Chain A
Amino acid sequence: MNDLLEIKDLTIHYVTDGGTVRAVENLNLRLGHGETLGFVGETGAGKTTTALGIMRLIPSPPGVVKSGRIIFDGEDLLTKSEAEMRAIRGGKIAMIFQDPMTSLNPVMTVDKQIAEMIRLHRDVDKAESLKLAGDMLELVGIKRERMHDYPHQFSGGMKQRVVIAIALACDPGLLIADEPTTALDVTIQAQVLELMKKLKQQFGASMILITHDLGIVADICDKVAIMYAGRVVEYADKRALYANPTHPYTIGLFNSVPDLDEDRESLNVIPGLMPDPMDLPAGCAFHPRCAYATSVCSESKPEMMEAAPGHFVACPIRGRERK
């Protein structure tokens, strides 16, 4: 079966006066139909840049897509014209941004914002689009009476529901959600995640969920890609990854999260800091912080290897141990 999305050797740089930021380096990724992929990493790992790359929304300058292919539904998005991309954005691929407070237009009622999306991609008249907008609001759990309200009249969780309604209005094949619940409180986050799970099934869409929270991934994803310094360092089925985290960075990430059921005197932290993306270490970008590092690690960039069927790791040492 063909994948819905396949990213091959994607490299995105930001070229600035101070130097080149290697935001994404030789990234490879696949996403099947109906799958949810969790995209995990810390600030600056390149998660959002990858998402913007798929949407062809990298600000340029300074952003440059150096190389690679992004194959969506059999076609390379990087060769599309701007006009073609406009039909794809929102129509076939929709994105939910982190902060619902800033992604809505504050001077436009929410029904009009949803209708705008529908009218851009579907051949319907104004009255019909507004009716559909009301339907979408009901679908995300907002009463139809509130369709003429402005964003500031809604709470944070409700605003994110409106954003979800806009994203799903044209029944996209792929939904990219960039930290959709990070700005929300935990009980509201639970409501929104529950809603996203339900709607994803109802619409049969694939989803890329960008998050730094391994708990959210455990909750709603099928596959997980762990990103570090512009590269995917581990990619596997959720079960395989949680049962057997293999890359040293992934292990460190799991150890950094305080446990809810268990007492630990102190957390096992990864020593040091994320490297400067303008000045990445030679070889494996993680090696200066890695407990398993040997001389090989500073010499050559690790290739992705299959440590177990379907479980890919960019670490020659841990990858071989598992075999």
Chain B
Amino acid sequence: MTGYIRVENLKKFFPTKRGLLHAVDDVSFAVQKGETLGLVGESGCGKSTLGRCLIRLLDATSGNVILHDEETGEDIDITKASKSVIKHLRKKVQIVFQDPYSCLNPRLSVWELIAEPLIVNGVFPDKNAMKRRVRELMNTVGLAERLENSYPHELDGGRRQRIGIARSLALNPEFIVLDEPVSALDVCIQAQILNLLNDLQREFHYTYVFISHNLSVVRHVSDRIAVMYLGKIVELSDYKDLFVKPSHPYTQALLSAIPTAKLDVKKERVILEGDVPSPIDPPSGCRFMGRCRHRAEICGKETPELREVSPGHFVSCHLSSP
């Protein structure tokens, strides 16, 4: 496996009173430089935990996240890097959070919020240079300069999310984890932010991991998409393939459940029974078995591996044909 970011057998378990919660359970994939990998799944599937492990906001239980530093040609294992290396990495690796209402300090002005990462990392000893940089960032994300002394509560969700984006861009990162960046926004504002993220990627060649529960949004932004269910990646493929030939029964159900804003689109709707089972001490075998239409004997015995069924299209299902 090659790539700019390589995730190898990543696991993140949380101890709880009732047992071990398998939030991310043996996940491997790679992200190429400049691409957008979409990560979809329902609440509780572990997509946010995975996103946080990628940039070491959470310590993984086991496994590796390897970032290939092109400048030095070195491979850095984010999960095991020392504090000083991590601090250096923060300049390359950033995150945008879901909720623009809670991720900004309400007592800092827009200017202070955007300058904060620059101050923390001491990149601009010269105050005027920093001022210019903050203005430039506000410009990049489409915030009017007159807003620099406003506080987050005075702004709407879309503008707040722009602040969050500006903060993550401040240090010229290479890799950005976008954790549900548009979920809290209305569709019109959502469209504006999606366009902004697209333009930024084209201009600065960022590598994105885009986490969302909204498949149409993910399809719009991603080059490849990974579908997660209960801590595991069940399907990973090119964005078009996934929608044309969804192979995992869960992906099929997920796709058919999306209401589309079109009439006369005939599609078979697969309604899943029941709810997502608990991720605490999950049974062996396929995690999706309990809700699957096609389950067979083997599904309860062996955990399916992620296999390549056609070039670049990986599925973890015993019953999918190669």
Chain B interface residues toward A at CB < 8 A: 42-43, 156, 158, 186-192, 194-195, 198-199, 213, 215-217, 219-220, 243, 253-254, 256-263, 269, 271-272, 275-276
Contact = CB atoms under 8 A, between A and B. Distances in A.
Interface in A235-260: 238-239, 242-243, 252-260
Given A42-B186, A187-B254, A218-B263, A267 B191 contact: yes
Return the 5 tightest CB-CB contacts between A and B, nearest first.
A215-B259, A258-B220, A214-B261, A190-B257, A256-B191
Nearest to B273: A191
Given A187-B271, A266-B199, 12 more contacts: A186-B42, A187-B253, A187-B254, A188-B275, A190-B257, A213-B259, A215-B258, A258-B194, A260-B243, A264-B220, A266-B194, A266-B198
B262 A218 contact: yes
Contacts of B187: 42, 212, 253, 256-257
9 contacts: A186-B258, A187-B253, A188-B275, A212-B187, A215-B260, A215-B261, A253-B188, A270-B191, A273-B156
Given A158-B275, A185-B43, A189-B257, A260 B191 contact: no
Interface SS majority for chain A: helix
A269 B259 contact: no
Contacts of B243: 260-261
A42 B186 CA distance: 6
Interface residues of A, number: 45
Given A185-B43, A187-B42, A267-B220, A257 B215 contact: no
A267 B257 CA distance: 23
A266 B42 CA distance: 26
Contacts of A257: 187, 191, 216, 261
B263 A238 contact: yes
A285 B276 CA distance: 44
A256 B254 contact: no
A295 to B, nearest CB: 25
Contacts of A242: 261-263
A213 B186 CA distance: 10
A267 B213 contact: no
Contacts of A268: 191
Interface in A174-231: 185-191, 193-194, 212-219
